A and B are shown apart, each in its own frame.
Chain A
Amino acid sequence: MRRVTRHIKGGCRNKAKIPPGSSNKDSSAELDESLLLTENLTTNLFRIKQFLIDCSDIVYREFLFAQREDIRLVMIYTDGLADKSQLSDQIMRALSLELPLSAPQADITRSGAYHLIKERGVCVHQIKETNRLDEIIEAILSGDTVLLVEGNSTAIINGARGWESRSISEPDTEVIVRGPREAFVENLSTNTAMLRRKLKSHLLKIEALRLGRISKTDVVIIYIKGVANEKLVTEVKRRLRKIDLDGILGSGYIEELIEDNPWSPFPQINHTERPDRMAARLLEGRVGIMVDGTPFALTVPNVFIEYLQAPEDYYERFYFATGVRIIRFAALVLSLTAPSLYVAIITFHQEMLPTPLLLSIAAQRESVPYPAIFEVLFMELSFEILREAGIRLPRQIGQAVSIVGALIIGEAAVRAGLVASATVIVVAITGISSFVFFYSASIAIRMLRFPIMMASAALGLFGLISSIIVLVLHLCSLRSFGIPYLSPVAPISVGDMKDVVLRVPWWAMYNRPRLIGWKNPRRLGPEQKPDFPEVKNRGGAGDA
């Protein structure tokens, strides 16, 4: 599946939008004499090498311009990050062989060579000039190739990047039946390109940032101008700029650094690896954050309901989508409360079971030596272990482990009289239900199940209800970038109910979510409900 292909990247990024000082927070921010290039190539080279000492992946290629001993050139790049074929074809061959032939001999001097090289010599799409050492270092380490010319205090940065990367494949975490089959990859520019392909509008803004003191990771903020609230965009930028961390290795780092309620178990920033989903959220007025090196794009603000919405809901017929939504709600409730409800009922409120069921459970539990809570805890824990093992193990073994393990442990535990078979059923239902909705939310729910179980083991249904109340209160106190986490359910927004339990047909989705897209609420044109009288008339005429 994961075919690794050679991915060629078009050119260096346009860094014009990076505000000075935002990307580099170390000493390079202020201009220092020692950080400027000199006219002496050897000194320059020495200085660069000083910076990049013990970096064995840096390649210094020295050669002569037009075979002239007095015009020495040095090309510096990082092995594996620069596109070598482009370098040899477009730069080295051009400079040493082709250019001297076509250029007037008079221009081939120490001073003239630089301009010649800049204007005619380098056949790459994007070049840039600089006289600052720190920029040069950064460019080298980002995969650009730096060309130093003897006797010139400016260097040419060639955007000839190209490195090994994964090709676009199907999304692994958000699988759907009907809908696009592409997922984001690790490469940021591929990802933004995918998004741009979905939304071909000049209103789609992609603003770049560079975060991480050491990693210097490219991060972009994506939004649709005129749809997303500017205040939100500013706030996202403000929070991102505040980040001061040595390295950003995944979007999860950023997520935890810009959340509103850092202590909550619930993720307040959504992520997706599907460009279509990302585009849909942008169209609702949300703001996206993409990080180079991770296929998961973040979107803010995030509300809880999003975890119960699947991209498929919008591609399938709305009846089906609504039905599936209801199932997902049921799964949410089940995965959160099923074991606790079971414990509460069979240890406190046996009167709530119909008599035959009570007698049958009683018969099963007759030989079980432990209190019900330990039984359930034991089974839940082993289920969680199996699930974790299933994820961590190599793929082929993993599946076998989880299925066989569950079957064998469940069956054996029942046979051995360690647990009642009803418990196994409850635990299995709980486990299955937690797979139904979005993974990140299910982690929180899976975790919270245990304290709720404890509460119901201590106080029965009262404990269960009390802990659910605390949970609801907590969810109500959360906000994601100012938007109440439980909206549109609490606070109720009647207009937004069209996409909570119901998924109304597209011709009825008039407005964007009220709290998020209030700036430009209308998303649907007038009279979009399909109604084609001429077709009907034609049919009628045929009859007559």
Chain B
Amino acid sequence: MPVLLVLVFLLIIFLEAPGLIKKKWWREMIAVSFFLLLGFALSLPQVLGFELPSPNIVIEAIFKPISDWLRVTT
């Protein structure tokens, strides 16, 4: 699975990069790499079986009073 993931990302780079380099769109290149890295960083641990904390925890913590009010009590 990790190998497959790396392959997929390599494929995406292979499809994306040449066009950008040819057009010398370096800003775009940076943005693309940023998102690809983010995607890779988020997916690799999952594929390897680590449990990442959900980003929702922060939101849940902040909105706890309201969500407690909203929780159905039966």
User: So, do A and B actually touch in the complex, CB under 8 Å?
Assistant: no
